[in-house]
Structure 1
Amino acid sequence: MSKIRLGMIGGGLSSFIGIVHRIAAYIGEEYTLVGGAFDTDYDNAIKFANKLELDPSRTYPDIDTFIEKESALPSDQRIEAVVVVTPNFLHYPMAKQLIQAGFHVICEKPVTNTAAEAIELEELVNKHKVVFALTHTYTGYPMVRQMKSMIAEGIIGDIQKVDAQYYQGWINPVIHDPEKRKSVWRLDPAKAGQSCCMGDIGVHAFNMIEYTTGLKTLKVLSDLNTLYADNPLDIDGTAMLRFEDEVRGIVRASQIATAEENSLRISVYGTKGALKWEQEDPNYLYHLEDGEPVKVLKPGHVYASEFAKQSTKMAPGHPEGIFDSMANLYIGAAKAIRGEEYIDGAFPTIRDGVRGMKFIEAVLESDKNGNTWAEIDD
């Protein structure tokens, strides 16, 4: 079976996340990168294409030219799926153009700047019958998928409490200097959107809760901090969550948690036990039960769920990481693009993008209204 012809918007010479996407796409051996619009500087885009030994004629100066030229090619030659790895404010307009042109889309998060935009994209995805994969990368880890399977099987009983944390400290060196913080695009509403901390990392914690538990958040009550009056976007915050059946949860997110690197953690407590997972040590899932020693589950073993087994590419004892996690999303999207059967949850969809944007807006509304409950509709 031929590989899916892949294009990329952004992700050129200076892009860290572009490298992650390309490696992830190659790991599963389902895609081949053909071309794209890699940089706003066309000379740099050509240099990048030459470095990757891509056909320069399939390297375009902008997305409009990309769509025009690729759409004119025979169906067995044109690019089929496109990765959008640009700054946040470009996700919506570029994804919209690509969907309307009939391309499958793999998009970085946040999916859009507003929930209304995300809903519009969802409607377009359904109308044009394309696959839309949103790269909430952490859902691709085998032990996260093991966690999802165990919760669905009722192994920890009925859920009573969920606690998700995402702490980083990267913004500390610039946030205390008025001039330096003006140079950070994630603090610029025109480029980052409505939120910095919650929009960038808090939404990951929120997505992990809904992904692993299957719960739908009904309400949030948040308290956000910009630290300085002239800083327009949040860099720290806490959101209390309410789900069905009186279940409670919390999302704690910060970019000023000094010396923290990428501390994403989730704990789910049920009537019969609990499960804990940490992104910085992703190959261990902890299963807790009253009166029993802690069980430590690892990838690649016979006890793993079918979903976890499908998401594991190495033998036991060989750690898997962020590239492998992202690769699992690409493999899932490839099955959908080809019309093959895949397990629900194989990749985040536009629906996850809509839910994420609604969470962000509810958090901002709750904080703005004096820390009151704000509802999230479905």
Structure 2
Amino acid sequence: MLLYIHVPFCRGKCRYCSFVSRPFDMAAVEAYAASLAAEMRLWGRKLEHPKVETVYFGGGTPSLLPPWALSRLMPELRRQFDLDAAVEWTFEANPDSALDSQYLESLLKYGVNRLSLGVQSLADDDLRFLGRPHDAGQAVAAYCLARQAGFANISLDFIWGLPGQRESQWLEQLKLAVRMRPEHLSCYGLTVEEGTPLAAEAAAGGLILPGESEQGRMYVHGAEYLEEQGYLQYEVSNFARMGFVSRHNSGYWEGRDYLGLGPAAVSTLRGVRFENPGEQADWAARVRRGTVGQGGEALTDGQKAREMVMLSLRTAKGLPLRAYRKATGRDFIKDNEALITALRQNGLIRLSSGHLRLTKNGFLVSNVILERLAY
């Protein structure tokens, strides 16, 4: 089982962000820590201290949790869940809140062995546009401190496709990142999410993103460059050196069971999906009543098949055709014969070793392809 813990606090809302988060304040953190510990105990009893293969603290900004909160939560997590001896334990951090070497060392002592730094860009102009709370110098300093503290598995997040950005500028960002030698890179194209300041700017006509052809070159040539540098693309937006693929995220794409704790966290256990309330007070009330996890939706065979296709085609492994036939009783190739033929002729998809895989150009238009496939 995978375990995800949502930490909803941020110093401020970035201009592109639509995730559930709230301003940091110590009283709210105190209440959150108490409720999260209670939720851990509730699930520990309910699932009889289940075996956990990966732990992921996401947000929000988990690195805003003060040391006293970690001292309560980390031991409780170990008491309530049976952590695999080879557990992958990821902790997300923003560079501005990861500049304390003692804090980073304490994470390692608790068992965290993978740090995910939200760098987003190594250009200060880009960071100001995105509304990030750090500058490029702090990003590099946080990375260096994490290395000195002892982290041997560090992932860096970047965003490409910013207004005015050209392919050469994106490739320069990747060159700077590669020089730092992280084990993992996540590179996401900028998306304008409803309800964000960027969406308001776009609606007013003040946001002009690079054209489709320019974005296409950024994506394909960026991926090719990273692979030349030893970072294998294993998912639409994710690249890793050998042995450093994110096991937690891969578990989602493989359809593994996962438990989510904290406000707005989603879980899928034994074919049932449920979601915690997004508001901290509503989530805390449900924890007090012991009703978290109730009222979930049992996934139908059709939903499971659709998710199998959508998630597996995001990965370099692709869709395992035999497993699809076993799960659905249908032949995916025959069901989509004309479309798959056209996609293959255009270099967007390929068949090999019993898997249907998108090419790099296919990844670029994956949403359109997935909309047209029958499953």
TM-score, shorter chain, exceeding 0.5 = no
Q: TM-score if structure 1 supplies the norm length? A: 0.31
Greater helix share, structure number: 2
Q: TM-score if structure 2 supplies the norm length? A: 0.31
Q: Which has the higher contact order (CA 8 A, sep 6+)?
A: 1
